[in-house]
């Protein structure tokens, strides 16, 4: 994992030095709404760049579930401004947009969606740096990025080592003003990035298990503390670091990767524009109830190691699922489509979601139990209450 981590209080003032160290001479600052400006963060970043003689342009307005069209606008601006470095400021949406712009700037004339759909093999990109403000997606250290194609209503991820940022500046104090719902969504996303790598059958990699289980216990405990007091520096620093470790592939070493719940969540957020973390908690319990009997031992191990549950085999497995769902509820996350605010009345919509999640029934989801469109439809039905 090549990303350099610069962690701690006031680390954003080292931004210019980091850009210069990694070869940047002109940066495009990619960020979301007005809070980065109102909080003074952008001003501190700009001053840091100026002190190191780094020119810059700005590209603000990134929204949750980042869109393809907006990223393409950023590519055009980056090419026009002749930037050689992209600086993402914010959470996963801003960082993923920065990654997309970086690919587009380095490959002028190639449509971003062709890169995303791997019609074009990506061989080069523009360097990206990150100033993280939301502990959640882990995009600051990950090899992945997600975009939504608004025209066709599809949300898709791109995995490539070229997505790894050159550096990530992580100051937990930048998270203190986050709304509690956003903190909850972040906790859910961090947990899910680990759970999606954890529920793989026939595991004998104890060290990776121990890392994943320790990370989950830390997120669960620190998440409670952060929601009680969002200005708790220690709790937020733990969440921030867990977010990075959860999605840099450390917790999946030696394993297959299973992002089936993410596929379900992407189908929901592409259609209904819901918060990403909330779409995951809305369906995880239904997914777990549908697949747990295919590897009871794995769910028993999870319940014991993460939740400290002891009992008969099947009761322990079930209670581990129930404890997880209850925790999601306790941090203000929805655990059904109804609680997500999109209770679906017609069967046709559920069928379309199942087809979206499985790419028109051409992809089988889940390693524990391969899921086709009919299986995914059943999971959506279970979650639709």
Tens digits of residue pLDDT in 224-283: 999 999 999 999 999 999 999 999 999 999 888 889 999 999 999 999 999 999 999 999
Tens digits of residue pLDDT in 186-215: 999 999 999 999 999 877 889 999 999 999
> Which residues 6+ apart lie within 8 Å of 322 measured at CB?
none
Mean per-residue pLDDT, 120-144: 96
pLDDT for res 377? 97
Tell me how long the chain is.
385
Tokens of 366: 């889940």
Please state, for a pLDDT cut of 70, what percent of the chain lies above it. Answer: 100
pLDDT for res 38? 87
Tens digits of residue pLDDT in 309-325: 999 999 999 999 999 99
pLDDT for res 255? 87
User: In b/e form, how buried is each residue of 30-40, taking b as 16+ CB within 10 angstroms?
Assistant: bbbeeebeeee
Helix (H) or strand (E) holding 128: strand 127-132
| Chain mean position to CA 3 | 17
Q: Rg for the chain (alpha carbons), in Å?
A: 20
Select the more confidently predicted residue: 377 or 257. Answer: 377
pLDDT for res 343? 86
Q: Distance (Å, rounded) from C-alpha 367 to C-alpha 210? A: 21
Tokens of 7: 């962690």
Which single residue is written with the structure tokens 């394993």?
Answer: 255
The residues facing 7 across adjacent strands are: 170
Residue 326: pLDDT band with limits 50, 70, 90: very high
Residue 133: pLDDT band with limits 50, 70, 90: very high
Among 95, 94, 107, 86, smallest CA distance to 23 is for 86
Q: Distance (Å, rounded) from C-alpha 93 to C-alpha 114? A: 20
pLDDT for res 36? 87
Select the more confidently predicted residue: 39 or 5. Answer: 5
Residue 37: pLDDT band with limits 50, 70, 90: confident
Residue 130: pLDDT band with limits 50, 70, 90: very high
Among 347, 363, 332, smallest CA distance to 264 is for 363
pLDDT of residue 44 exceeding 80: yes
Tens digits of residue pLDDT in 165-185: 999 999 999 999 999 999 999
Terminal Cα-to-Cα distance of the chain (whole angstroms): 41
Mean pLDDT of the chain: 96
Tens digits of residue pLDDT in 86-113: 999 999 999 999 999 999 999 999 999 9
Residue 164: pLDDT band with limits 50, 70, 90: very high
pTM score = 0.94
Are 112 and 104 in contact by the 8 Å Cβ rule? The answer is: yes
């Amino acid at each position: 994992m090549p990303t350099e981590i610069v962690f701690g209080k006031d680390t954003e003032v080292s931004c210019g030095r980091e850009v210069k160290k990694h070869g940047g001479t002109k940066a495009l600052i990619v960020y979301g709404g007005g809070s980065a400006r109102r909080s003074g963060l952008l001003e501190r970043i700009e001053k840091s760049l100026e002190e190191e003689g780094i020119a810059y342009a700005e590209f603000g307005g990134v929204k949750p579930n980042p869109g393809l069209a907006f990223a393409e606008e950023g590519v055009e601006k980056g090419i026009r401004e002749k930037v050689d470095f992209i600086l993402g400021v914010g959470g996963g949406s801003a960082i993923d947009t920065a990654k997309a712009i970086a690919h587009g700037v380095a490959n002028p004339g190639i449509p971003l969606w062709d890169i995303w759909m791997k019609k074009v093999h990506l061989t080069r990109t523009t360097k990206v740096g990150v100033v993280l403000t939301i502990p959640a997606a882990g995009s600051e250290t990950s090899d992945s990025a997600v975009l939504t194609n608004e025209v066709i209503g599809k949300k898709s991820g791109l995995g490539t080592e070229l997505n790894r940022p050159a550096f990530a500046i992580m100051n937990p104090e930048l998270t203190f003003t986050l709304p509690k719902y956003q903190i909850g969504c972040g906790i859910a996303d961090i947990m899910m990035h680990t759970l999606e790598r954890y529920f793989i059958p026939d595991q004998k990699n104890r060290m990776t298990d121990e890392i994943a289980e320790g990370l989950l216990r830390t997120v669960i405990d620190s998440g409670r503390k952060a929601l009680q007091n969002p200005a708790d520096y220690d709790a937020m620093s733990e969440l921030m670091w867990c977010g990075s470790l959860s999605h840099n592939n450390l917790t999946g070493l030696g394993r297959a990767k299973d992002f089936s719940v993410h596929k379900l969540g992407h189908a929901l957020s592409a259609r209904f524009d819901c918060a990403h973390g909330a779409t995951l908690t809305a369906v995880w319990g239904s997914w777990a109830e549908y697949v747990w009997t295919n590897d009871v031992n794995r769910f028993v191990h999870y319940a014991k190691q993460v939740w400290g549950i002891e009992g008969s085999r099947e009761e322990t497995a079930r209670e581990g699922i129930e404890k997880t769902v209850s925790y999601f509820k306790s941090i203000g996350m929805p655990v059904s489509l109804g609680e997500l605010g999109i209770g679906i009345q017609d069967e046709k919509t559920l069928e379309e979601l199942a087809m979206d999640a499985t790419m028109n029934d051409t992809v089988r989801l889940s390693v524990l139990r391969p899921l086709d469109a009919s299986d995914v439809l059943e999971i959506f039905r279970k979650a639709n209450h």
